[in-house]
Structure 1
Amino acid sequence: MNAEVEPPTEGVPLIRPSTTGHPLYDAVVEACRTVYDPEIPVNIFDLGLVYTVEILDEGDVAVTMTLTAPGCPVAGDMPGWVQDAISAVPGVRQVDVDLVWDPQWGMDMMSDEARLELGFM
């Protein structure tokens, strides 16, 4: 039997939405903002490298993130930096960081603050 691969359903986001309504969300975002790509003077959150912050009621946090390029020299270290930063937030029980390459990061994912900082505005 030849199974056809279904294309992504139109209207289904490539990136899961974050749980922005959780009381820990702002603190977790601020923790992400303490982590920097060593080659770019902007934090990973404003660079748009953090795709999803999912927080469960028990304080478990799941982060889906990417890097600017698959060959990034800190690819092996960055998820641990993010995990360490978020683990320090009071109320966080466990942190899981998933590094993904799809969708691919693009400069359009940066915040206005990051674009300004890097001279793109």
Structure 2
Amino acid sequence: MVFKVNQQMVVDALKKCMDPEVPLSVVDLGLIYGVDISDKNDVNIKMTMTTRGCPLHDTLVKDVKKYLGKIDGIGDINVEIVWDPPWTPERMSPEAKDKIYGKKTLRFSIDLEKSKLTKLGSVLQQPDGSLALMNEQNQGFMVNDALIEFWKMCDGTKTINELIDTFSAKLNMQRSDVEKEVVELVQQMLEANLLKAEN
């Protein structure tokens, strides 16, 4: 009796095939568009790449074939690269999106209109003259003068929007040019326990 390879076996094998550029499988990235298994256990995979001309194109195809080749009873393996429909980040699994965009998404719930930031920790001058911010757990974070200036502004009286306005004025830059960076900075400082946010 011929052992039948099924869809789940193929998907499980593909989940072990990681994209060389990011620590995510081709399944989680949404690169697999189709899996077809014949009566003879031949497997045809339709997959795409995140970008055309990807330098790791051949490596990824080889890895897919390598992991599928470990399935007992599998026949011929064919991998077809397709570009229609084009890949978009929306094809990624929720877990993949968290890993890819974790540093860009709001890990902490903050409201730009309502959340007021209060600085935590202290400024420490290093022996070489450089400055660091120390949190209450005595963990040090290297910073520049602009970051310390922003941290000092967080006295619990200003909303994040007000801080963005003040900071952009100090830097003599448009608000739109600094808003994204400030929000990311706030997230990093919250994570480092250098700020606390209160609504």
TM-score (norm. length: structure 2): 0.47
Residues 22-101 of structure 1 aligned to structure 2 (within 5 Å)? 24-101=6-83
CA contact (8 A) 1:24 1:91 kept: no
CA contact (8 A) 2:17 2:63 kept: yes
Q: Please list every run of 5 or more consecutive structure 2 residues that lacks an aligned counterpart in the other structure.
A: 107-199
Q: CA deviation at 1:39?
A: 1.1
Residues 53-104 of structure 1: CA distance to partner in whole angstroms, max 9, x if unpaired? 1111210100000111012111122112111111110121111000112211
| Bigger RCO (CA 8 Å, 6+ sep) | 1
Aligned residue pair count: 100
Partner of 1:4: none
Which whole-Å CA distance do the structure 1 matches of 2:12 and 2:55 have between them? 24
Q: Please list every run of 5 or more consecutive structure 1 residues that lacks an aligned counterpart in the other structure.
A: 1-21
Q: What SS class does the counterpart of residue 90 from structure 1 fall into?
A: coil
1:112 is the counterpart of 2:94? yes
Relative distance call for 1:85 and 1:23 in structure 2 (3 A) is closer
Name whichever structure is richer in strand by fraction: 2
4+ aligned runs moved over 4 Å, structure 1: none
Relative distance call for 1:77 and 1:36 in structure 2 (3 A) is same
Q: CA deviation at 1:116?
A: 2.2
**RMSD of aligned alpha carbons:** 1.7
CA contact (8 A) 1:66 1:100 kept: yes
Which whole-Å CA distance do the structure 2 matches of 1:74 and 1:83 have between them? 14
Which whole-Å CA distance do the structure 1 matches of 2:5 and 2:65 have between them? 19
